[in-house]
Structure 1
Amino acid sequence: MSSITALRTTRIAARPNLIWVEIETEDGLTGLGETFRGSSAVEAILHDQVAPWLIGRDARQIEAVSRHLSTTYLGFNSASAEIRAASAVDIALWDLAGQRQGVPIHVALGGAVRPSIEVYNTCAGYDFNSTGSARRDASGKEAMQGPYDDQVAFMRDAGELAVSLVEEGYSAMKIWPFDIYAPASAGQRINLQDLKAGLEPFRKIRDAVGDRIEIMCELHSLWGSHAAIRICRALEDYGVFWAEDPISKMDDNATLADLRRQTRTPICGSETLGGVVPFRDMLAAGAADVVMLDLVWCGGLTQGRKIAALAEAYAKPLAPHDCTGPVALWAGLHLALHSPSAIYQEVVRASLSTWYRELVTALPQIDQGKALAPTAPGLGAALHPQMRTRDDATVRVSGKARS
């Protein structure tokens, strides 16, 4: 009764980086997965390579499916298109497992260790990443698209932005004011004038709200080691919670460990890694203080819980990433509730308040800066039925779908 009968993908022109996977089983259930970036390439892999092997198999054999899809001849131990496809399938299978048992995924994983988890607001805008290009060149001069256009806001007046977040109950925020200075040298150096300008938002936040909010600094893998060290040392004066993805190659553990030795700013890495081995190597090299993973890029919940166990074994905190799509948020929340070493779940209030709501039937409940444990079976949400009938939708089906 748990045999897989169909695999359906949906992507929409309005959000071209996103693709959703629905897996149907003969017992009438549908599991939802998602991944991000290169959606057309992932679509081809799912229908040309994954579906012919997957259809007819037992959806309960999640570990066996993960092992097969995560050890492809090419693309493993990375966040390749193959692994992104495997991630989406894996999340859908866990959704099915929870639905079949009548429990949320965090219960199916072994249970939650906390009733809620703190969230931090990544200060992105309404269209950050999802419309084809990341708005990393924002100078604060462009027009605000709405009250939560936080990327413009942190460059314009980070102190005012921090006040609004504190008033909504957030205790942490993430900004990236150094990004605009990287192109001048391809990230190889940052001069003193640009360094001081990049520090201004941090100063304004501290002046406005003091120590009532934690600040994370995102560096987006834009920098060489010399520039990254200079930035991280300068951030020490502001008590930054972490500097994220500071160097251009986040699998370069020797360079990352060297940077970590030269600064008191904690180093966070990395949403860009896929599979267990790169995280094992990063931790073994002493290259990071905080482990960040993205479940739609690293291999799904099956690989994610193993990475979380590694983080726990190395006594490092875990922080699931989401600046991509609503299913990534749901999956990360389930893992964060289950993993003993998790400290934060990332959210983007601009996305939560607008377009995430158009895609799925429900979103996590956030109250006073904390995401509450879901109670619905499985993931907690389904793809909106009208997504498949949108004028800009591309839908493909392998196998025999019910509708």
Structure 2
Amino acid sequence: MKIQAIETIQLPHLNNILWVQVHTDEGIVGLGETFRGANAVAAYIHSDIAPLLIGQNPLEIDRISSLLLSPYVGFRSSGVEIRAASAIDVALWDIFGKAVNQPIHQLLGGLSRPSIRTYNTCAGYTYNKSGARRYIGDCDDAKEGPYEDQLAFHRDAGALAESLLSEGITAMKIWPFDPFAVANGGNFIHATDLDKALLPFRQIRDAVGDKMEVMVELHSMWDLTSALAIARGLREFNPFWAEDPIKMVNPQSLAIYARQSGIPVCASETLATRSQFLDVLKADATDYVMLDVSWCGGLSEAKKIGTMAETFQRPVAPHDCTGPVVFAASIHLSLNLPNAIYQESVRAYYTSWYRDLVTVMPRIKNGEIYPFEGAGLGLELSDFVLDHPEVIRRTTRTS
């Protein structure tokens, strides 16, 4: 089998998402995806990756992964080079699964559990789309459906927790501190602002007590001193973890936070390749390892990061707040990794626009995500994407 062509696919109204299809001479097409900077990633795929890979065997996944994760520049970041490599890698695993008629989780080593528990990241329908607002103010009244969870955690987080529990979801993630980081540059939070940001945690505990696990996302927006001030305020609410409290550029600083905060640490969707995660693990700087399949180097690298985390006795929780293909790849991974503890999901996504983009969604019931049944990823891009009047499709093929 040989790689015959590499195609990138974009939709203008979802232009944070880039899909990649790797075409083979045997008619098998593999699907991959990455997120953010889609135009730059697409350009890099066609200028650098496609000429390198066309004519090669797509089943030599580890060799290709090693090749793509070692450019002369960009190998120690989650930038364009690694995001492009990640999307290609997912597509190669999809080809492998289709070639042998097995789901990816089987190729990774099989199921470690019949389902994986999920927590709900409390985003709304447009969160993380190009041009959408990530921070909610008092005047934001836009509503697209029943799961405007980002609005909800600002308005009444207790009622939101009750809604999630009614669907069997027992863990949720919120980020009420972000607006204050934007306003103050992340190096100062006033006591009154801290009190305002803690209100959702009070509402959740008052409404449902300890029935709900609550993660706090800090988006790497704070310096160490301010992050520790936030941690002191959070302790009484017993958060499950504090995610990315500071920028992931100094494992020693993160280790100081881990020692002094009194809150479990989760890090980090923003890291790429084993070497960066190894630095964090060796510094004893995180309790939970979070990786993003489409930013860390693909499924090949994610599996290795997960196994490395297992040797450090750390659980893994794959990130997803991006697109449906990465969501599917992450589910395969989290069902396989023995040390996976949660798979992130966004109910506003998987109940709505994800379903427009792909042919299949996983079964999600009572806070558990169940395996895909088809070969490879178990899904394809839908006709809505491929036949969309504004779709941007670009192909580099054998001359």
Scaled by the length of structure 1, the TM-score of the pair is 0.97
The residue type equivalent to 2:276 in the other structure is: P
Structure 1 position 6 matched with structure 2 position 20:
no
The residue type equivalent to 1:130 in the other structure is: K
SS in 1 for 2:99: helix
Question: What residue is the counterpart of 2:385 in the other structure?
Answer: 387
Runs of 4+ in structure 1 over 3 Å off: none
Question: What residue is the counterpart of 2:344 in the other structure?
Answer: 346
User: How much has 1:191 moved relative to structure 2?
Assistant: 1.1
CA distance in 1, matches of 2:179, 2:131: 18
Question: What residue is the counterpart of 2:46 in the other structure?
Answer: 47
User: How much has 1:400 moved relative to structure 2?
Assistant: 5.5
Deviation digits for residues 8-27 of structure 1, max 9, x if unmatched? 11001110110000111112
1:367 to 345, 365, 368: 365
SS in 2 for 1:49: helix
Which aligned pairs between 1:51-70 and structure 2 lie closer than 5 A? 51-70=50-69
User: How much has 1:6 moved relative to structure 2?
Assistant: 1.1
Deviation digits for residues 279-315 of structure 1, max 9, x if unmatched? 0000000111100000000000000011001110100
CA distance in 2, matches of 1:67, 1:241: 35
Which aligned pairs between 1:191-202 and structure 2 lie closer than 5 A? 191-202=190-201
CA distance in 2, matches of 1:183, 1:21: 34
Range with bigger deviation, 85-94 or 356-365:
356-365
Which aligned pairs between 1:181-330 and structure 2 lie closer than 5 A? 181-247=180-246, 249-330=247-328
CA distance in 2, matches of 1:192, 1:393: 48
CA distance in 2, matches of 1:4, 1:311: 33
SS in 1 for 2:301: helix
Question: What residue is the counterpart of 1:127 in the other structure?
Answer: 126
The residue type equivalent to 2:95 in the other structure is: L
Deviation digits for residues 303-362 of structure 1, max 9, x if unmatched? 001100111010011000000000111111111011111000000011111111111111
The residue type equivalent to 1:5 in the other structure is: Q
CA distance in 1, matches of 2:43, 2:131: 19
Range with bigger deviation, 298-307 or 179-188:
179-188
CA distance in 1, matches of 2:8, 2:386: 9
SS in 2 for 1:111: coil
Q: Percent identity?
A: 49
The answer on whether the counterparts of 1:141 and 1:156 sit within 8 Å (CA) in structure 2 is no
Equivalenced residue count is 398
> Structure 1: which 5+ residue stretches go unaligned?
none
The answer on whether the counterparts of 2:356 and 2:384 sit within 8 Å (CA) in structure 1 is no
The answer on whether the counterparts of 2:175 and 2:217 sit within 8 Å (CA) in structure 1 is yes
CA distance in 2, matches of 1:19, 1:140: 33
Range with bigger deviation, 135-144 or 271-280:
135-144
SS in 1 for 2:210: coil
Question: What residue is the counterpart of 2:22 in the other structure?
Answer: 23
CA distance in 1, matches of 2:68, 2:111: 27
The residue type equivalent to 2:266 in the other structure is: C
SS in 1 for 2:16: strand
The answer on whether the counterparts of 1:140 and 1:153 sit within 8 Å (CA) in structure 2 is no
> Structure 2: which 5+ residue stretches go unaligned?
none
The answer on whether the counterparts of 1:12 and 1:392 sit within 8 Å (CA) in structure 2 is yes
SS in 2 for 1:31: strand
Structure 1 position 337 matched with structure 2 position 345:
no
Which aligned pairs between 1:167-182 and structure 2 lie closer than 5 A? 167-182=166-181
SS in 1 for 2:392: strand
CA distance in 1, matches of 2:33, 2:332: 15
The residue type equivalent to 1:282 in the other structure is: V
SS in 2 for 1:182: helix
CA distance in 1, matches of 2:170, 2:293: 24
Structure 1 position 397 matched with structure 2 position 399:
no
CA distance in 1, matches of 2:330, 2:233: 31
- Indicate the RMSD between aligned Cα atoms, in angstroms: 1.2
Scaled by the length of structure 2, the TM-score of the pair is 0.98
The answer on whether the counterparts of 2:4 and 2:23 sit within 8 Å (CA) in structure 1 is yes
The answer on whether the counterparts of 2:162 and 2:207 sit within 8 Å (CA) in structure 1 is yes
User: How much has 1:188 moved relative to structure 2?
Assistant: 0.2
The answer on whether the counterparts of 1:17 and 1:132 sit within 8 Å (CA) in structure 2 is no
The residue type equivalent to 2:81 in the other structure is: E
The answer on whether the counterparts of 2:89 and 2:300 sit within 8 Å (CA) in structure 1 is yes
Q: 1:114 to 1:155 in 2, by over 3 A?
A: same
Deviation digits for residues 68-120 of structure 1, max 9, x if unmatched? 00001111121010100000000000011111111110001111110100001
